[in-house]
Chain A
Amino acid sequence: MTQTETTGRKRFTKRRRYRRVMVGVLLAGVAIGLALRSIGYPFVGEAVYWLGIISVLAIWRSTSLTLFDERDQELERRTAMTTLSVFAAVLVIGASATRVLAWAGIYTVPPVLAGALYGYVVLFLVALFIGAWYRYRG
């Protein structure tokens, strides 16, 4: 094995370890935080939750390793597009259905569901804003 391959192999192993540690720390923070809240220690639980979040960010920002490669970014892009498409379908159909049902006096959507639909509208406005920023930032 050449020097380049040895260095590459070490970097590869280190990246895999970092990614596993990040996922582990995040899941542990959420799980322990939930457990502590459920047994009556809400503030400690919240602190543990934030400790997990900050630890993940610290690992991600402090290492010079590329933890996520180009395929990860492509998968994230496709995931975001598919998710937005699902939300768009739910919003278009859901908003129309709630209006028609309300006008017909058949069913009035509960405030929680109406709020969720407005939340989707906000989501798309944010997506539009971010998309415009990427497109026109020069």
Chain B
Amino acid sequence: MSQADLAAAVDVTRQTINAVERERYDPSIELAFKLAAYFDCRIEDLFDPELNGVGTDHDD
């Protein structure tokens, strides 16, 4: 599959897909959901955010 095919499927430009692949652009939640739906997987399977300890250090 080409970037153009994927871009067409999720209704963005090829440059946007290229930027996401190269980690130069963080997609919106809407686009992330579209990509996950397209590949039939979860968002976490596609993206690995660096949360810097968020959610791992609870005081309560």
Contact = CB atoms under 8 A, between A and B. Distances in A.
A9 B16 CA distance: 15
Contacts, number: 40
A9 B25 contact: no
B15 A71 contact: yes
A71 B12 contact: yes
Nearest to B26: A74
Interface residues of A, number: 14
Contact of B16 (A8, A11, A70): A70
A70 B30 CA distance: 10
Interface stretch (B3-11, B42-50, B52-60): B3-11
B11 A66 contact: yes
Interface in A39-92: 66, 69-72, 74
B25 A8 contact: no
Contacts of A71: 12-13, 15-16, 19, 25
Contacts of B10: 8
B8 A70 contact: no
B31 interface: yes
Contacts of A38: none
Given A12-B4, A70-B12, 4 more contacts: A5-B8, A66-B11, A69-B12, A70-B30
